[in-house]
Structure 1
Amino acid sequence: MVDLRFFEYDTVDVALSDRRARRLDSEAGRYLSVTPHPDPEIWSVTAREYVGTLVVDDMRILIRPKIRPENLFLLLEVGLPEQAWRKEDFDYEINPDLLLSLVSFYARTLETTLARGLYRSYRNRNEDLKAIRGRIDFGRQLSRARLPMPVACRYGEFTSDVLENRGLRAAIRLSLRVAGVPPSDRRRLMRELVAMEEVSDTPVSGDDLQRIHYTRLNDHYRPALGLARLLLDNLTLVDRRGGTTAASFMVNMNDLFERFVTERLRHALHGRLTVEDQTDDYLDIEKAVRIRPDLRFHHPGSGSVTYVGDIKYKLTSDAVARSADYYQLLAYTTALDLPEGVLIYCQTDGGKPAGKITVRHAGKRLHVRPVNLSGSPAEVAREIEVLATWIADRSEHVRPRTPFWLARPA
């Protein structure tokens, strides 16, 4: 087994045969860049924006983030207290396999979540029954050529076999197939699997879990479902001859950072600004060119956008925003008729990015604001609060607030 270990965006020179290099490029081109080296027996392997564990044939690649391990777990799950991931954070510093640390994190979070009991809710059922239950579905019943039995019924069933529990169960079954999970965590997962025996084993995707509507009744499920979604979206298992299973788990740090900043800003700006993420709009009058800003802000009760932002995970080496990112933000500010916008960058090392540029002949002000992930989780939280206050102030400065009774619907 060839074992490679390096950090995101780093390049390592590796002795690989042509066959192995081509195989790695074809199977892992989404996560790695494989290019020839001046030495014919050496290949340069460059990590992209993904971190985690990647298995290709007999090659195992471990890619670690450049941020602090505890802040990686902070990004993985918004809303859990810092002490909740301390053990996994410590384990990850010793063992660079992110997948095993995440499965342990999921097992412990799930145990705490289900200690309050399984969430139950009403689910609409349409069944043909010998006795009437709920309401008769006359449309289906009358389409049966006057057959009196069975009766087409429509009723609500109070059950634990709901999407929330099916998602947790699917992630449990996937986690139990991962090799190397500590016995204590495997026992935790098995106990919770038994407790969910009434829940059906139906295919569930991460996108399905994203559509869950949270209320006060299921809000305590949110952290566990967030971790389940990560596992369902990013964990790939491949069965091999000999009864072994190879597991690849790769997390896109761009997506992770974007989701983290969005949710934290939404929480910090609650009551001051409404935060919309990934909302479709158009660059042109003819609506032929679609745009999708990461962040749009408007005042509660008003449909008028007062500020726009875009989130980027990586700074350039000289700590100045990339030209393509400025062009993108300029398009957003122009299409939304705003005098300025902000690029939110992840800062892990190096100096602070440029604070503002003003576009020639257009007067658009394009700000760059960093979120430094090299500090403690408490320091990261303070940076988000400062950023939220800055956005709220700029929103007031750019476009005066309209009283809600005068605002027209969008």
Structure 2
Amino acid sequence: MSAGAVVRLSETGEVPAPPLTPEQRGALVRSGCVKVRAAADGGWLLSADGSVGVIRVGDLEVRIDPKVPIARLFFLLGYAKRIDWRPELVSVGARDRLLPAVAGVLARLSDRATAQGLLQGYRVVHETGPTLRGRIRAADQLARHLGRFPPLELECDQFGPDIPENQILRAAAARMRHLPAIAPAVSATLRQQDRKLRDVTVLTPGQRPPRWRPDARNGRYQPALAVAELVLRGTSVEFATGTVAVHGFLVQMPAVFESFLETSLREALRRHGGVLRGQDTAHHLDAARRVPLRPDLVWWVDDRPAAVIDAKYKAVGAAYGEDVRHADLYQMLAYCTALNLRRGHLVYANEPGDLPTHRVRHRDIDIHCHGLNLDQEPEPLLRDVAALAEKIAGGAERPR
């Protein structure tokens, strides 16, 4: 394979791959973002598997472009997290690619967050010392020193910049600046952020980001933290297989769509009362409760299920391919049966709004299919969600 080969994929397309070693093929499959299929000519075909972004496997770089514009994608990501990414801050063009756009937004928002100085706060520090400072950790004192003094096993509150918010910003900046296709100016800003945060603990690769709580104190950090957590939580790829190193940045589009639909539908259904629950685990298909079911969304009214909704992020044109459509309908039929509902709702991303309703034979069950166009401005998109909520609430029922 030629050095530095780049493969461009659309979210819905399939392209021939350059010659791949077995390790590269295995690494691409392990990444979970690219499907590898044998071609008729003996080569290999690559297609996206629900993710968009960039992954580098050795000297092969695979770029997967989303089917919605980057500005729309930022809206979907920000809406679910209650973050208002204003256009003057996000500032992405129609032709921007995902990774450079995310890196640029992270650099701008991090620089803006820390421009007035680093946020500081208290953190709990565990240390061993000869004199009393803070509180004695009695259990550790007995276990390590059999109750003898000194040394002392101490716990104290330390004030400074080494707090979760700054740790997350530093880790995200470090991760982003080492990825391919980052503009030199953006890399320079991210390096400057790293120097500014030099007194902050460096998170190890793969370590879960520490928890933080939004409040008035960290308000100026919150937009930057939303992007930083996007980089760190389950959307970054970094591992090695044999002699091949793998790293990249990916966004799971089905998860983005489901999260947006849950947040926006919850707001739209509020006027009808009840509670919308995501990933509801209280249901089973069988009477013995051995077969669990986990629908994406269940709307509860008066402590009973009133509607069940499943988000389907499918490739354009594939949602009504026979195998895909049938599997979705079977799944929704199981949900309606277990929840004792006469209506179920399948919501497809980027499909036309008017989709068929399926009446199940010998059962009084209707499965309604809805399309939601994500490639539109926020206001009309939210109007479409509100219209969908009216259809769901209008056809909702009390269980039999």
Q: TM-score, normalised by structure 1?
A: 0.79
What does residue 31 of structure 1 align with?
33
Relative to 1, partners in 2 of residues 1:191 and 1:56: Cα closer, same or farther, differing over 3 Å? closer
Match of 2:148, SS state, is coil
Relative to 1, partners in 2 of residues 1:379 and 1:345: Cα closer, same or farther, differing over 3 Å? same
What does residue 251 of structure 2 align with?
251
Alpha-carbon distance, 1:372 to partner: 0.4
Conserved in 1, the CA contact under 8 Å of 2:165 and 2:225?
yes
Alpha-carbon distance, 1:319 to partner: 5.6
Alignment of 1:11-410 (within 5 A): 11-13=14-16, 16-17=18-19, 20=20, 22=22, 24-29=24-29, 30-38=32-40, 40=41, 43-78=44-79, 79-84=83-88, 87-90=91-94, 93=95, 96=97, 98-115=98-115, 117-142=117-142, 144-203=145-204, 208=209, 212-218=212-218, 221-232=221-232, 233-236=234-237, 247-269=247-269, 272-281=273-282, 282-299=284-301, 303-314=303-314, 317=317, 320=320, 322-347=325-350, 351-394=352-395, 397-399=396-398
Report how many aligned residue pairs link the two structures.
380
Alpha-carbon distance, 1:173 to partner: 1.1
Letter in 1 for 2:255: D
User: Alpha-carbon deviations, 1:236-286, whole Å to 9, x = none?
Assistant: 4589xxxxx985333222122222222333444457443322232333333
Relative to 1, partners in 2 of residues 1:173 and 1:44: Cα closer, same or farther, differing over 3 Å? closer
Letter in 1 for 2:342: P
**Residues of 2 paired with 1:55 and 1:248: CA distance?**
6
Relative to 1, partners in 2 of residues 1:176 and 1:353: Cα closer, same or farther, differing over 3 Å? same
Match of 1:173, SS state, is helix
Letter in 1 for 2:367: L
Q: CA RMSD in A?
A: 3.3
Alpha-carbon distance, 1:295 to partner: 1.4
Relative to 1, partners in 2 of residues 1:334 and 1:35: Cα closer, same or farther, differing over 3 Å? same
**Residues of 2 paired with 1:135 and 1:62: CA distance?**
52
Relative to 1, partners in 2 of residues 1:68 and 1:178: Cα closer, same or farther, differing over 3 Å? closer
Conserved in 2, the CA contact under 8 Å of 1:21 and 1:43?
no
**Bigger mean CA deviation after superposition, 150-159 or 3-12:** 150-159
Structure 2 unaligned segments of length 5 or more: list them. Answer: none
**Bigger mean CA deviation after superposition, 385-394 or 104-113:** 385-394
**Residues of 2 paired with 1:279 and 1:317: CA distance?**
29
Conserved in 2, the CA contact under 8 Å of 1:21 and 1:34?
no
Match of 2:295, SS state, is coil
Relative to 1, partners in 2 of residues 1:224 and 1:145: Cα closer, same or farther, differing over 3 Å? same
Letter in 2 for 1:203: T
Letter in 2 for 1:2: A
**Residues of 2 paired with 1:274 and 1:107: CA distance?**
38
Alpha-carbon distance, 1:157 to partner: 3.7
**Residues of 2 paired with 1:8 and 1:26: CA distance?**
21
User: Alpha-carbon deviations, 1:4-47, whole Å to 9, x = none?
Assistant: 22312212345x44xx2755532223333333444x36544333
Match of 1:310, SS state, is strand
Match of 1:296, SS state, is strand
Match of 2:332, SS state, is helix
Match of 1:398, SS state, is coil
Alpha-carbon distance, 1:104 to partner: 0.7
Conserved in 2, the CA contact under 8 Å of 1:319 and 1:353?
no
Match of 2:388, SS state, is helix
Relative to 1, partners in 2 of residues 1:283 and 1:322: Cα closer, same or farther, differing over 3 Å? same
Alpha-carbon distance, 1:110 to partner: 1.7
Relative to 1, partners in 2 of residues 1:23 and 1:289: Cα closer, same or farther, differing over 3 Å? same
**Residues of 2 paired with 1:36 and 1:187: CA distance?**
41
**Bigger mean CA deviation after superposition, 284-293 or 40-49:** 40-49
User: Alpha-carbon deviations, 1:353-392, whole Å to 9, x = none?
Assistant: 5243232233223222222012223322322333344444
Alpha-carbon distance, 1:166 to partner: 1.5
User: Alpha-carbon deviations, 1:196-227, whole Å to 9, x = none?
Assistant: 33321123758546x64444544554432332
Relative to 1, partners in 2 of residues 1:306 and 1:142: Cα closer, same or farther, differing over 3 Å? same
**Residues of 2 paired with 1:382 and 1:126: CA distance?**
52
Conserved in 1, the CA contact under 8 Å of 2:269 and 2:389?
yes
Alpha-carbon distance, 1:126 to partner: 4.0
**Residues of 2 paired with 1:330 and 1:31: CA distance?**
29
Letter in 1 for 2:107: A
Conserved in 2, the CA contact under 8 Å of 1:169 and 1:196?
yes
Relative to 1, partners in 2 of residues 1:145 and 1:52: Cα closer, same or farther, differing over 3 Å? closer
